[in-house]
Amino acid sequence: MFTEFTNHFKAMGTDMSVIVVADRRDPGVADSLRQIEELFRRVESQFSRFLPGSELSLMNAQGGSDSPSEAMWDVLQRAREWWKQTGGVFDPTILPALEAAGYDRSFEHVRFNARLRQRTRVINSEWGFHNVTLTESGSHRRVILEDGVRIDLGGIVKGWAVDRAGELLIESFDGFLIDAGGDILARGDSVSEKGWWIAVEDPFESTANRGCVLLKDSALATSGTYRRRWIDAEGRRRHHIIDPRTGLPSVSETLSVTTCGPTVEACEVIAKSIILDEETQLDWVEAHGDMTASVVH
């Protein structure tokens, strides 16, 4: 008899849920769920900009790295490619602007930042991934951050981690769901359906849903300016999606974007990019054919 085994935990600043469909007598389920939780905690310890000792924080502080981990190298290469694909709209090098907007600590602690009275706007001509150099010679890899460049990989790494978790689970389970705070990967079938029903949050009403999507062997991500919001020292509303063209939180009329596609990484990056540059990025989605996007204004 097959049933659903679930593990709920908190990691990477959000609520995580992992559900696998397995025979209730399967002795390996608990170990598999534990491995996935450990994966997310390991990724958080490497990529969190809020942990001073994380690999990312050390790399930002040192202006690069002479020995990046396999995971860091992979994410940086992917980030560079998405920067190119989106025409620079996806830009991990805008960390100084994100901090200046008030998002300089984990979100549960972002409420009021008196420093914003003197510093509310940051424009840095050195932004852009062309100021991040990735070199490889034989087995030696090196990351060079030009003067003043610091990066935040929060716009890609959660989706990347969900995809890696999916690669581990697919070896043992035909059906599973990974939900990392709305970044979702679904494979196979749930116990009751040919796929997995996913509720999509209504940006206008936090306790309601816009509707449901039946996912099977696909990914989904929702991004918006309505979640991670705070009030700055001047009484202005701020949010975490920075427009690299202005150095300020986006003023786009696009409130929320939900994307479906082959990987969570792609869905996460493109959803955020559509908020910043709706027309161009929707053209990109249409041209590639393996993704869909739903936009709320």
pTM of the predicted model, to two decimals? 0.89
> Which of 200-214, 240-254, 263-277 reaches the highest mean pLDDT?
263-277
Residue 243 is predicted with a pLDDT of: 84
Element (H, E) at 266: helix 264-276
CA–CA separation, 154 vs 47, rounded Å? 8
- What's the pLDDT band for 106 if we cut at 50, 70, 90? very low
Q: What percent of the chain has pLDDT over 70?
A: 84
106 contacts: CB under 8 Å, gap ≥ 6 = 13, 50
Residue 115 is predicted with a pLDDT of: 44
With 50 as the cut, is the pLDDT of residue 110 above it? no
With 70 as the cut, is the pLDDT of residue 2 above it? yes
Residue 96 is predicted with a pLDDT of: 86
Tokens in use for 273? 């990019």
- pLDDT tens readout for residues 112-160: 443 443 344 455 555 789 999 999 998 899 999 997 899 999 999 999 9
42 contacts: CB under 8 Å, gap ≥ 6 = none
Residue 231 is predicted with a pLDDT of: 52
For the chain, what is the radius of gyration of the CA atoms? 19
Residue 111 is predicted with a pLDDT of: 46
6 contacts: CB under 8 Å, gap ≥ 6 = 17, 18, 19
Q: Which amino acid is located at 263 in the chain? A: T
Identify the residue with better confidence: 289 or 162.
162
Answer whether 281's CB lies under 8 Å from 273's CB.
Answer: yes
For residues 76-102, give the mean pLDDT: 91
CA distances from 228 to 14, 164, 225, 241 (A): 12, 25, 7, 9
Residue 255 is predicted with a pLDDT of: 82
In the Cβ-directed half-sphere of 283, how many Cα atoms lie within 13 Å?
6
Q: Which amino acid is located at 181 in the chain? A: G
Residue 188 is predicted with a pLDDT of: 97
- pLDDT tens readout for residues 213-252: 999 999 999 988 756 554 555 555 554 688 888 777 777 7
